[in-house]
Amino acid sequence: MKIVTRANAIKNLKKYIGKNLRKLALQHGVTTFETGKQNKGWKGLILERLAGLETNVSKAPNGLSYELKSVSFHYVKDELVPKETMAITMINPEELNKHSFFESHCWNKLKSIVFCAVMWHGQNAEKAELLKVASLDFAEDDELIKEIMGDYDFIREKLIKHGFESLTGKDGKWIQARTKGTGGINPRTGKRRPITRAFYARTSLVNKIFETAS
C-alpha cells in the first residue's frame, strides 16, 4: 500500500496536462470503449491511476484523503464552460436525515477535492485531453459554502418532510439530488432496480470551482 498525499497526487497529475487520456488509459490497461462497450467511468479510473492511487480508494467512507473528480468542458461561444454536472457522492437517506452539512460525506468530499478539467470532444470521444488539475480547499465560513449548505438543508428538509421519492434534480442552486444508479432491469427479479440518488454539483458550481482554481 502506497501512501499518496494530495500534493503528490496533483504533482503526478500535472505531468499529464495536455496529454491524450485515451492513450494513457490504453497503456495502463484501463478499458475505455474499444471493446464495443461504453465505459463511462474510464476517465475517472485512469486519473486515479495517474495520480498514483493503487486501487479505488475513492469511496472514502472512513477517513481519508481527498476526492479525485473529473469534469468535461466544452466551448460555448468563446468560453470554456463545464458541459456536465459533477457527481459528488451518493445520498443515503438515513444519513442525510441525521447528519448536518458539515457532518456529511458531501462536505467531506467537497472540501478536499482534486479537480480535473478534461476537454470533451463529442460523444464517444476518442480523445480526451487533460486541461487542468487543481486542488481546492473550502473554508467553513466561505460565502459559497454557506449557500451550498442552504441547498443541502433544503434537500434534507424535503427528504424529512416529503420522503426520498419527492427529491428531484430541480432542487438546489449549487448542488442537486439527481438519480444515479445501475439502472435498467434487474435480470434476476425482472423488476426495475430501485432509484438511488447522489449529490451533483451543478455546472455553475463547477464553473466557480474552475475559476477559483485558475
Partner DNA sequence: CCATGATCATTA
Partner DNA sequence: TAATGATCATGG
Which one among 22, 132, 156, 178 touches DNA, defined by CB under 7 A?
Answer: 178
Cα–Cα distance between 131 and 129 in angstroms, integer? Answer: 6
The answer to whether 68 contacts DNA (rule: CB under 7 A) is: yes
From 9-17, 94-102, 132-140, 190-198, give the range in contact with DNA by CB under 7 A.
190-198
Which one among 2, 161, 188, 191 touches DNA, defined by CB under 7 A?
Answer: 188
Which one among 5, 8, 27, 38 touches DNA, defined by CB under 7 A?
Answer: 38
Shortest Å, Cβ 141 to DNA: 27
The answer to whether 65 contacts DNA (rule: CB under 7 A) is: no
The answer to whether 40 contacts DNA (rule: CB under 7 A) is: yes
Cα–Cα distance between 104 and 98 in angstroms, integer? Answer: 9
The answer to whether 191 contacts DNA (rule: CB under 7 A) is: no
User: Which candidate, 80, 114, 98, places its Cα nearest to that of 11?
Assistant: 114
Helix axis angle for 6-14 and 42-50, nearest 10°, is 110
Beta bridge partners of 35: none
- Which helix (H) or strand (E) segment holds residue 72: the answer is strand 67-76
Cα–Cα distance between 8 and 137 in angstroms, integer? Answer: 16
Which one among 4, 45, 159, 205 touches DNA, defined by CB under 7 A?
Answer: 45
Which one among 6, 12, 84, 99 touches DNA, defined by CB under 7 A?
Answer: 84
Which one among 22, 69, 156, 158 touches DNA, defined by CB under 7 A?
Answer: 69
The answer to whether 120 contacts DNA (rule: CB under 7 A) is: yes
Which one among 5, 8, 14, 41 touches DNA, defined by CB under 7 A?
Answer: 41
* Strands, E assignment, 92-173: 112-119, 130-137
As given in the structure block, the three cell numbers for residue 184 are 435498467
Cα–Cα distance between 187 and 130 in angstroms, integer? Answer: 37
CB 109 within 8 A of CB 101: no
Interface residue list for DNA (CB under 7 A): 31, 35, 37-41, 43-45, 47, 55-56, 58-59, 61, 67-72, 74, 76, 81, 84-85, 87, 89-90, 118, 120, 123-125, 168-170, 176, 178-184, 186-188, 193, 195-196, 198, 202-203
